Amino acid sequence: QYQGLARRSTNEVLQLYSAHGQQQKLQRSSVVTRLHGAVKKRLKKDLKSLRSFALELSKEFQHQSRTYLYQVLTAVREIQLQNEAMQMFQMKAFDLEQSLQEVTERYEKEKQKRRALHNSLVELRGNIRVHCRIRPLLPFDTAAGHLVPQDRQRNVSEKVAYAVDDETVLVKCSRPGHASINKTFQFERVYSASETQDIVFADVAPLLTSLLDGYNVCIMAYGQTGSGKTYTMLGPQLEENFAFSLEDESELGIIPRATQEVFRLISEKPPGSYWVEVSVVEVYNNEIFDLLAKDSCGKVFGVKRDVVTTREGKNDVPLLTHETVENASEFLHLVNKGLQLRARHPTLVHAHSSRSHLVVTLTITTIVSEDNFGTSWEDEQTTQRLNKEGFCTQKTRENKSTSSSRASSPAQLEATEKLKQVKTRLQLVDLAGSECVGMSGVTGAALRETSFINRSLSALADVLGAIAEQRSHVPYRNSRLTRLLQDSVGGDAKLLVMLCISPDQKYLTESMQSLGFGTRARQVQRGQVKKKNCPVPSKAK
Ligand code: ADP
Ligand code: MG
């Protein structure tokens, strides 16, 4: 029984136990279901809010993209409008540019016409053309004491002379303790520091055409030492010898360029109708030195010469060496030789070339037929003299066995009676420095040099003054320089004075003096310059 009871109670326990297990199982699955339900509910909620958020976002996105699109479209439209406006402006600018160009062209033409008229006026009045070249500031302007007297050293360079336009120089300076200066000067042409040798020569070239047309021409550079006279006339000089270098053609000055141009113009004429002779003289301490004279061995050495007045009233330097040259390089070779002599010859020793006046003369002889112009235009005496001279020259020429293209061919010799020689002259002058150097403390050779330079340049100014005032007496005889240049300055040549100016304040006094000289030269009226080989109207005689 007991065992039976125990078994029964065990079974009951087991039943109860399993019932309890089942109940527990049931209980557990209902928690999971509840939990599941809760999660599902939550998920649904979240999904719903996510969806509404996404909807909101896409709505927002659409709205914004629409706004941006609108903005882009507006911008594109604006750009299109701006492009159109730009095109219009471009067209307008093009039109304006074109009309500006037209106006500039017209202005240039008018300017040229005015220049030509002014030139004719200058010619009619027999005025002296004055061009003014302002050189750039150079390193030595700041270097203490270079070419400047001790008492005026100032180590700062400051520009006081300007080219306002191509006809006006402005000198503007105000210094403490000095009256301020603000003065303009007018000239036929003003070159600024940036204007090249090419540009300067372009204005000189027409004078060379005149030369071959039968006019005497003289070009002289005036200015203080270091202002660019030699640079303008010859080109940059080499240091030790006085020759100028030919390395850079673009740097060549008026003298070599003028010679090239003369030979170019001659090459366009019938062969043998022109020949060219050169003389090179230096006026130093009122003495004239022939820089091409040769000794018995054919060596070049400087010889003193003098000026005399011929029966025809012309000034001449007897015995002066005239070398025939056939081309520009022969000429340059000769001039270089002459220039080197200045440094070598004992009687010609002076510290630098700016202590003397250099006069290079090209004489151009033309053979013209008398039939071409009748005999009334020049007096009989001159004609006869020229014929005689022509014959002699042709003979010497034959002796020298010069080329057959020259005027010395037999056919031409036979026709001598009908031929006539006309000589025209191109004088190229590099004057000594015009600075007003004080005499105090200067002795010996330097004093002599300075006083001769001062005297010769003031004689030149006096001559110009006398001609300008049309005085009956013109004091050419006061200096050999003025006697040598008398025919050019006094009326029988187209004369161009090239004023050279250093722009630095240090040289203010000298620059004002040079500008004054140029202004005075411009006032000279000598009457119409005569052409040498055409009939001169009787009224003008
Ligand atoms: P000047 O003959 O009047 O005494 P230079 O012709 O010897 O003066 O000129 C002095 C210096 O200035 C030289 O070294 C020269 O090369 C230089 N110079 C002059 N004019 C110019 C210029 N326009 N451009 C450049 N250098 C110049
Ligand atoms: Mg010089």
Structure tokens at 463: 């001559």
Span 70-97, pLDDT tens digits? 999 999 999 999 999 999 999 999 999 9
**Residue 202: pLDDT above 60?**
yes
Residue 401 — pLDDT band, cuts 50, 70, 90?
very low
Ligand 1 atom 9, closest CA: 228
Per-residue confidence (pLDDT) for residue 183, from 0 to 100:
95
For residue 360, the CA-to-ligand 1 centroid distance in Å is 19
**Residue 449: pLDDT above 90?**
no
For residue 199, the CA-to-ligand 2 centroid distance in Å is 20
- The Cα–Cα gap between 338 and 345 comes to 10
Distances (CA, A) of 83 to 70, 90, 361: 20, 10, 67
Span 285-309, pLDDT tens digits? 899 999 888 776 766 677 888 888 8
Q: Which atom of ligand 1 is nearest to the CA of 147?
A: 4
Residue 511 · residue 158 · CB < 8 Å: no
Mapping DSSP to helix (H, G, I), strand (E, B) and coil, where does residue 418 land?
Answer: helix
Span 518-535, pLDDT tens digits? 999 998 887 777 776 643
Cβ of 433 closer than 6 Å to ligand 1, yes or no, is: yes
**Residue 165: pLDDT above 80?**
yes
Q: What is the crossing angle of helices 254-267 and 197-212, to 10°? A: 40
Residue 226 assigned as binding residue: yes
Instruction: Tell which wins on pLDDT, 407 or 366.
Output: 366
Span 100-157, pLDDT tens digits? 999 999 999 998 898 888 778 777 777 789 999 999 998 878 764 444 444 344 556 6
Q: Sign of the C-alpha dihedral, residues 349, 353, 357, 359?
A: positive
Per-residue confidence (pLDDT) for residue 377, from 0 to 100:
36
Best mutation site among 131, 227, 231 for ligand 1, i.e. most ligand atoms within 8 A of its Cβ?
231
Span 27-38, pLDDT tens digits? 888 888 999 999
Cβ of 256 closer than 6 Å to ligand 1, yes or no, is: no
Residue 389 — pLDDT band, cuts 50, 70, 90?
very low
- The Cα–Cα gap between 425 and 218 comes to 8
Across the range 21-26, mean pLDDT stands at 84
Mapping DSSP to helix (H, G, I), strand (E, B) and coil, where does residue 214 land?
Answer: coil
* Range of lowest pLDDT (217-231, 277-291, 387-401): 387-401
Instruction: Tell which wins on pLDDT, 362 or 377.
Output: 362
Across the range 304-320, mean pLDDT stands at 84
DSSP characters over 20-62: HHHHHHHHHHHHHHHHHHHHHHHHHHHHHHHHHHHHHHHHHHH
Per-residue confidence (pLDDT) for residue 440, from 0 to 100:
55
pTM of the full structure: 0.72
Per-residue confidence (pLDDT) for residue 267, from 0 to 100:
92
Per-residue confidence (pLDDT) for residue 368, from 0 to 100:
75
Cβ of 390 closer than 6 Å to ligand 1, yes or no, is: no
Cβ of 502 closer than 6 Å to ligand 1, yes or no, is: no
Residue 304 assigned as binding residue: no
The average confidence (pLDDT) of the chain is 81
- The Cα–Cα gap between 126 and 452 comes to 29
